[in-house]
């Protein structure tokens, strides 16, 4: 009766086809009107968070009853978070807070709206209270910490290492989130020129990508994974070149080139081509 399950949507957390976003906006507006008319304040606030995220994603800038600006959209999320806290609905409050923090560090927004320090403080509180066990949520915190490290925060990298390395109590595996965490930590090591540690993280990214490609069921999902890891390979190749590890560089580059076609996605693991000198040939199992 209260509309449980009527709206289930998080922009950016899965595969959402762009042609469905207009319909999603329409349904969200209808759901918000329904809840507001019956004074279901908690459900209305939850829908408001989804509407604000859809607006902030940049896909739907004309929405019935939606925000008029990015700043107003952020305010909608903050108000929802405050309402959940006042009603001691901890789970909804933390979900809204994570959504708020995600957009405070988003480079899609104007610089004046980006507040990585505030985002990191909000997420640190959740981390300290054990509320960031899901890897997808840890990615948000890791992104905030990397932004702080780029602003010369002396404690950000150590906390980033803890976020990436601490085991997940739930036992669930999220390879895409795990891959993103390793890439963020590799970037953190690159900032302080700890090349050996960054290379280890790039190799872990490649291992996670191998698993993702082997379990992907559609060309769309495999192509998304390939696009997701473009920067991993670019950074990894540069790092191997700098370290003088030519055998691993060749294998990394060969893997990178083989990923262009979707039809090649299930041919992993691979070996370097026979034309490469034997001293530079390295089996992929040796790299991982």
- Over the stretch 167-213, which tens digit does the pLDDT of each residue have? 876 555 577 888 889 989 999 998 998 888 988 888 888 877 777 77
For the chain, first and last CA: distance in Å? 52
Q: What is the dihedral of CA 52, 54, 60, 65, to 10 degrees?
A: -40
What confidence score (pLDDT) does residue 286 get?
58
Rounded Cα gap, residues 235 and 233, in angstroms: 5
Q: Is residue 163 a contact partner of residue 148, using CB atoms and an 8 Å limit?
A: no
What's the CA gap between 184 and 54, in Å, rounded? 25
122, 128, 130, 131 alpha-carbon torsion, rounded to 10°? 0
pLDDT per position as a tens digit, 62-104: 666 678 889 999 999 999 999 999 988 999 999 999 999 999 9
Q: Are 58 and 25 in contact (CB under 8 A)?
A: no
Report the C-alpha dihedral over residues 252, 258, 262, 265, rounded to 10 degrees.
-60
The pLDDT-based confidence of 61 (bands split at 50, 70, 90) is low
Q: Is the pLDDT of residue 132 over 60?
A: yes
Asked if the model's pLDDT at residue 221 lies above 80, the reply is no
Q: pLDDT value at position 147? A: 94
| Long-range Cβ contact pairs of 31-34 (< 8 A, separation 24 or more) | 31/3, 31/6, 31/7, 32/65, 33/65, 34/3
């Amino acid at each position: 009766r209260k509309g449980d399950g009527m709206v289930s949507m998080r922009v950016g957390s899965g595969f959402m086809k762009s042609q469905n976003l207009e319909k999603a906006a329409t349904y969200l507006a209808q759901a918000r009107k329904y809840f507001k008319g019956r004074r279901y304040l908690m459900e209305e606030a939850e829908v408001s968070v989804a509407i604000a995220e859809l607006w902030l994603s940049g896909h739907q800038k004309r929405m019935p009853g939606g925000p008029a600006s990015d700043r107003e959209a952020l305010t909608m999320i903050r108000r929802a978070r405050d309402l959940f806290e006042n009603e001691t609905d901890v789970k909804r409050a933390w979900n809204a807070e994570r959504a708020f923090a995600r957009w405070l560090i988003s480079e899609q927004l104007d610089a004046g709206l980006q507040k990585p320090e505030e985002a990191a403080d909000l997420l640190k509180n959740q981390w300290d209270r054990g509320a960031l066990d899901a890897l997808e949520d840890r990615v948000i915190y890791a992104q905030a910490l990397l932004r702080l490290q780029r602003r010369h925060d002396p404690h950000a990298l150590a906390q980033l290492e803890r976020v990436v390395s601490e085991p997940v109590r739930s036992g669930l595996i999220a390879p895409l989130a795990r891959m993103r965490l390793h890439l963020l930590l590799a970037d953190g090591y690159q900032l302080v020129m700890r090349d050996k540690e960054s290379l280890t993280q790039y190799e872990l990214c490649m291992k996670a990508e191998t698993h993702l490609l082997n379990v992907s069921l559609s060309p769309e999902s495999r192509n998304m994974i390939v696009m997701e890891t473009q920067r991993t390979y670019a950074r990894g190749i540069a790092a191997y070149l700098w370290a003088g590890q030519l055998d691993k560089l060749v294998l990394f580059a060969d893997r990178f080139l083989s990923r262009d076609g979707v039809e090649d996605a299930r041919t992993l693991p691979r070996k370097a081509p026979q034309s490469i000198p034997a001293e530079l040939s390295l089996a992929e199992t040796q790299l991982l």
